[in-house]
């Protein structure tokens, strides 16, 4: 039966991989919180006080409309498709990671047809992400519109997220090449690379 394998390829002689994963995750979270704290201090100094907890329904609607769906960016075709590829790809990866964590630590849900659909959706979003990343690189280095911020931090972020996603795709393709399961084509991007 097709199912998700935790920590494929990591020898059990290394001990529990959970220790390494959660240690690195904890350190990364601590660094992120410290950096957020320093930015937030600046925001508190510069910003003016305002009620932020009133009209939660409107605020939540705007969060979905502008941050998740990214309606403002969609008015322009090229930046809209680019941002959809990058942002929705990461939303899908976040949901995939959450489902994989639930499957690994709480209840096995990624088995059989559900697992195959899970793999297909994540691979399709991987392709969508790479389309968005390629468009972002083209826009940043070839088109170079005047209103675009060209600070090196944006380049660093783009390179890092591409490396992260490509690393996941390579890991999947190594697993598919090593195991050669009958259902490998349900992961089309990984299958092609494998």
Q: CA separation (Å) from 134 to 15, 21, 36, 164?
A: 39, 29, 28, 15
Which residue has 């380049």 as its token pair? 155
In this structure, the number of other CB atoms found within 10 A of the CB of residue 63 comes to: 11
Give the pLDDT mean for 55-62. Answer: 90
Residue 161, domain extent: 73-193
Return the percentage of the chain with pLDDT > 90, whole number: 42
Q: What is the pLDDT of residue 14?
A: 66
Which residue has 């941002």 as its token pair? 83
Structure confidence by residue, pLDDT tens digits, 15-32: 777 788 889 989 999 999
Q: What is the pLDDT of residue 191?
A: 92
* Positive/negative CA dihedral, 144, 147, 152, 153: negative
Give the pLDDT mean for 120-133. Answer: 96
| Domain membership flag for residue 15 | no
| Domain membership flag for residue 116 | yes
Are 115 and 184 contacting, i.e. CB atoms less than 8 angstroms apart?
no
Give the pLDDT mean for 98-112. Answer: 89
Which residue has 């960016």 as its token pair? 73
The count of residues in the chain is 194
| Domain membership flag for residue 167 | yes
Whether the pLDDT of residue 154 is over 70: the answer is yes
CA 22 to chain centre: 18
Whether the pLDDT of residue 109 is over 80: the answer is yes
**Residue 1's pLDDT band (cuts 50, 70, 90):** low
Query: How many domains are there within the chain?
Result: 1
Whether the pLDDT of residue 170 is over 90: the answer is yes
Q: pTM for the whole thing?
A: 0.77
Strand partners, 3: 111
**Residue 134's pLDDT band (cuts 50, 70, 90):** very high
| Domain membership flag for residue 114 | yes
Q: What is the pLDDT of residue 26?
A: 93
């Amino acid at each position: 039966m097709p199912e998700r394998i935790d920590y494929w390829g990591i020898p059990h002689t290394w001990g529990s991989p959970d220790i390494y994963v959660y240690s690195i995750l904890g350190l990364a979270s601590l660094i992120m919180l410290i950096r957020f704290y320093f930015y937030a201090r600046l925001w508190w100094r510069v910003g003016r006080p305002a009620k932020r907890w009133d009209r939660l329904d409107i605020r939540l609607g705007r969060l979905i409309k502008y941050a998740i769906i990214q309606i403002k960016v969609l008015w322009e075709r090229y930046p809209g498709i680019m941002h959809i590829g990058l942002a929705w790809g990461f939303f899908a990866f976040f949901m995939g990671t959450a489902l994989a964590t639930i499957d690994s630590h709480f209840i096995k849900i990624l088995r059989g047809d559900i697992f195959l659909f899970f793999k297909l959706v994540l691979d399709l979003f991987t392709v969508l992400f790479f389309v968005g990343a390629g468009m972002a690189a083209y826009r940043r280095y070839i088109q170079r519109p005047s209103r675009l911020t060209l600070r090196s931090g944006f380049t660093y972020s783009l390179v890092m997220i591409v490396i992260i996603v490509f690393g996941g795709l390579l890991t999947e393709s190594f697993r598919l090449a090593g195991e050669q399961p009958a259902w490998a084509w349900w992961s089309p991007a990984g299958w092609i690379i494998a």
